Structure 1
């Protein structure tokens, strides 16, 4: 019993260390996106997405901390309310970016790009966005009732799926599709590769933390 509690505590500490590093990384990505893109329109869009993602993840992490400690978060709690308001905006913004990209591709914006690779990207991208939305929304609904075993299992399942899709998107960011996006510099590959790896790691650790909770 004691060993199980220590193991659960270890997962929890590792998860929150990774999540807070990821939050800091997302805010750092705001500055990197603007600098790398010379403050162009595309750079601002990437920066806004990273900023929104950082805010939502910070609020989600705070709520998760109380949830995994077995503390009920009342619906009137300020952090929970902020999360519930913000994450649909992040999802909507990401889906708008995806839709604009889809329109560009359908209008012949990437005639030399590999069709299979493009189809994979345009499928994984919205799937990952919706999986992330489910992760945020599931915790937002569960927060007032941390003893809900079924809900905890559902959250862990969504985290597992989100991690897999994040890994796929990280690969697309590091190894772009020729004829569709510019060849990244080594710095770009390191930054986006580390960001993607941290996302996957933090998500898996959060999943394991939720799984280790006792009702």
Structure 2
């Protein structure tokens, strides 16, 4: 969304795609090793935990050496801050470029000041959601993350597939596909008929199929 050229954007997407594979393997391997550790040493686990999200922080604090645990906690905070700042910056830039100025809302507004205000608002909204999730009775933050992410990735994946593999799809059909995809994923998130790991796939498939056939109703743009 924020790169200067299409070539840089393509490089960014491919780099992210390639690095996601080893990062995901490391992520799940860490969970597997934690399971193995506490399976062999159940007395080391705090019995007051209400969900599994506290296991990894507990392991860092209780089992790792003082210096290592401090470095790891600092690294986690640094990573969280970098992810949040880059996401807020990208979202604010996308709003300013693709929505505010695209539709001609207050064209005289200073771009930098507008982006700063958008970043502040996005940060406040994100903080409110974080506080809500921290106070809610959530069994697994990972599952909730997959559901929220799936609402975006599911429909977005369907849009990309429509653009890559079809010539029939048009903007009106794609918008209908996105809306139906979101409704399907909300329904799937509530009823949970499929495993959480294939949750996003329901959005991709529904967006692709509905978007493709809905495009037949409208004349191609």
TM-score (norm 2): 0.28
Structure with more contact order per residue of length (Cα contacts < 8 Å, sep ≥ 6): 1
Larger Rg: 2
TM-score, normalized by length of structure 1?
0.28
